[in-house]
Amino acid sequence: MARLILEEKNKLRLLLQEDFLIISEFRALKLDKEAQQFWWQAVRNLKGNDLLAAAKIAQQWKWHKQAILTVARAKYWDDVALRFPIEYEQGIQENASKQQLDTAIIYGLIRRESMFDETAGSPVGAMGLMQIMPKTGRQIAREINYPWRSKSILLQPSVNLKFGAYYYRQMLDKFDGHGI
């Protein structure tokens, strides 16, 4: 109980610091990209319990990438919920079931590929939670009769999960069940 009280006090103290107030203002103005970029300035000099508290704040805000990377900087390996979030549960379960995949595989791929950042993009152009290339996405849309408007649909979690699970099943079938 004392640990939880300490964590809450640390979070409140951080939220009142200037950097975190600026982040909160960006968030209030719906400037999430700017807020997330400013995050790294806010946590750069934090250590120990303050880093853990910052990671918990990021988790509350559903900024899983920042939470994962911040808790790693704290070298705090025991908080499994921070390091391996359970998000998009319904979509993952539905698509894993439809493609006869273990949900743990989907969670692992998402954590590795995007750290649960639905807006993630790679230098080579892969997009979304499961990092699907637009050309691959267009091909999948054709195969499953899904309306393709533009590559931006890959940033929609429901579409990305559907396409990602479908594609992973295709690859397993192609390579005789051998995972990546």
**Helices marked H in the chain — which ranges?**
2-15, 18-28, 32-43, 48-60, 64-73, 80-83, 89-98, 103-114, 134-143, 157-174
Please confirm, yes or no, whether 89 is among the known catalytic residues. no
Name the one residue in this structure whose structure tokens are 């990021």.
58
Neighbouring residues of 60: CB distance < 8 A, sequence distance ≥ 6? none
132 strand-pairing partners: 127
How many residues belong to the chain? 180
Q: Report the distance separating Cα 60 and Cα 175, nearest Å.
A: 40
Fill in the DSSP letter of residue 153: G
Neighbouring residues of 115: CB distance < 8 A, sequence distance ≥ 6? 64, 65, 68, 69
User: Choosing from 25, 87, 113, 118, which is the catalytic residue?
Assistant: 113
Cα–Cα distance list, 174 to 133, 164, 179 (Å): 19, 15, 10
Which residues are part of the catalytic machinery? 113
